[in-house]
Structures are given as structure tokens and as C-alpha cells.
Amino acid sequence: MGRLIKNLTELTLNRPEPVTENIPVLEYSKNIDPKYAVEALLEGNYVLVADQFSSGIAVLDELKKKLSKNKTDDSFQSQRSYRDTFRKVNQLLLIEISDHKLHVRKAPEIGWIKILYPELPDFFLPFTDVQGLNSSWQWYEKGIRIPGLKETLHPFYGTYFPTRFEHIDLFVAYLKAYSGKKDRAFDIGIGSGILSKLFHQFGFKEVNASDINPNALIGALFQNENEKQNDKNSPPSHSTTLYYGDLFAGSEVQSDVVVFNPPWIPLPKEVSGIDLAIYYDKELFPRFFEEAHKHLNPEEQVVILFSNLAGLMYPNFVHPIEAELKTGKRFELVRKTTKKVAAASSKTKRKAVWRAEELVECWVLKIK
């Protein structure tokens, strides 16, 4: 069941799990062959990076080499076994945090450590988790320019933000052409807040948003708190009413526009962990359409940002929005716009034939 969120203390952050108990560790420094550290890790021992940050990188590189030699082939099962083993073993490579700083030389400054672990002055974290925190902090500090968004985006730790923007372009085009009421909007799955910010930018009086990821909501509240601190005489410019939960999160809000940017690929049989965030189960869209029908003001619109990617990947794919429209029960199509995606990077793992034919879609529906 969802609930309205008003302050940071109502939510528990998702953060890398700290190691706080006293555990035996083997110290590693750059004057030791990293092969010895890898053997210790593979035997189930904790290894502590003791001298400088780059020593941890050297051990991980050696671990990858070692595990790559053990791969039998390039099959899915072999690749998955390699990834699972790497994840399991690398959690034993630790780095010490003292007074909210990495306790090694030549280490990056990571502001998230103090924000995510205010109650812990001294603890250990797996080295790979620290790498993730560092990467996230760099994105947050530098900010990201999103086409059509006037302000720079500073994504909070653990929140989704796009690296491709064609679907954002379609939503900006929709808002520019929109001529309906702007009393209230609802953003399903706020993520790093882009769509909610665009609602504000285009003059919507009230914006509501939900998410099942507490970090997304904490990120929005964190931004509001920062704005209050920077300018105590004026309210936050992008204050959004937040709900913690799935889809409309049990709210009673009736909206003029509901926007939904769901996962674009159906849930396969074998998936776990963070990969679950990019796939949708077969009940997601039927539930969304049932709830959206109840939360939309008459004559107003639902906007869904989607893609034809799954149709390119799976021959028997059933498009969930087309399937809803075919029932003829709740919604009818106002219009559909598409945009071709940019050429694939040379480093992308996505098949080139899919990328060449991929389109992002903006579906605008209204109650029938």
C-alpha cells in the first residue's frame, strides 16, 4: 500500500551494505603481487586495500583475468557463471572508511558517504560498491544536461536517469503542443525527476509523483531541502507531492495529465537483482490502465513513453498499449508519435540490427 511522503525521515535509503563488525582481514598493498590477493579472495578471505585506491583496481583487474581463464565458452550460461562468481568474490575486497572518507591515499572525495552513512564514522565497504558511489557522485556533482530541460539534472544516488534522450524529446514536444488544463499532473515513477520538472517548467500548477524506489523520493526531498537552504525566503521552485508505492500508490488524486515511462522489455524467465528494474511483468500494464482510468479527469490525457524494441527482439511480442486499445473498453488513441534513436555506440552490446530499426514512442490516450 502506498503513502504520502512529506519528509526524509519517513523513508529508508537503499545503500550499499556496510561492514561494521570486527572481521579478520588480509591487508593488500601495491608491493604485493595482486595474484596473491586474488587467491585469498577465491578462498573466501576478506582482503583490505591498505595503501592507495589504485591497489583495489589492480586486484579487481587480476580477478577478472583469473575468472576469464576459467570460462569454458561464450555461452549464456558461461557468461552468467562468470558474472555471478565475480560479484560474489568482489564483495570480499574491502576498503576502510574513517570519518566519512576513504582511509587510503590518492582516493576520490565521495560526498555520498556522509549523506548515506551519517551515523557511521568508521566502517568497511566492498571496493566495487565504493566505485559505484564514486561514479554516482561524479554524475551528481557535474550534473547532466537534458534536452528541453532548462535546469541541470543532479541525479541522487540509486535513481534512474536516462543516457539517451529521444523519448524526452517526444515528451517535450507533447508539452509544447498541449493546450488542455494544467491544474494537476501525475508522474508515475519519478526516477531522477525529469518528467516532473518538465511539468513544472511548462506551467502545471500542481505536480504529484510516485515511485517504489525510496531513493527517488528521497532525492526529490533532498533537492527541496537544498533549495530551502540556498534561498530561505522563497519556497522550492519545483516542489512535488510525493507518494511511496506502486503506480498511483493508493492516492486519490485526479489529474489532467498522467505520464508513465515504464520499462520497455517484458520480464524474461531468468532475471534477478538490478535487472528487474528494466523489465515489466505481464500484469503491469493491465494494472496501470485500470488505475489510470480512475485517476484521470474526463476529457484529459494519459501519456506513455515506450519503444518498439521488444517487438524487434521477440517475434511473438504483444504490444501492451495496442492490446489495451484493442479491448475498446477504457481508452482511445488521441495520437502516437515516434522518433528514431541515435546510432549505436561502438561499445554497445545491443545488436546493431535492433538499434538501426528502433523507435521510441509517445502514446497519447484519453478516456473512451
Condensed to tens digits (0 to 9), the pLDDT of residues 315-339 reads: 899 999 999 999 999 999 999 999 9
pLDDT of residue 142: 95
- Show the domains of the chain with their CATH numbers: 8-140 (no CATH), 144-367 (3.40.50.150)
Condensed to tens digits (0 to 9), the pLDDT of residues 161-178 reads: 988 999 999 999 999 999
Query: How many H-runs (helices) and E-runs (strands) does the chain carry?
Result: 12, 15
Average pLDDT, the chain: 90
Backbone angles phi, psi at 339, to 5 degrees: -150, 135
Give the N- to C-terminal CA distance of the chain in Å, as an integer: 28
152-183 burial code (b ≥16 CB/10 A, e <16) = ebbbbbbbbbbeebbbbbbbbebbeebeeebe
CA distance 171 to 174: 5
Dihedral sign for Cα atoms in the order 35, 40, 46, 47: negative
Of 13, 29, 17, the closest CA to residue 159 belongs to 13
Condensed to tens digits (0 to 9), the pLDDT of residues 182-219 reads: 999 999 999 999 999 999 999 999 999 999 999 999 99
Of 13, 16, 30, 15, the closest CA to residue 90 belongs to 16
Average pLDDT rounded to a whole number, residues 79-86: 86
0.85 cut: is pTM over it?
A: yes
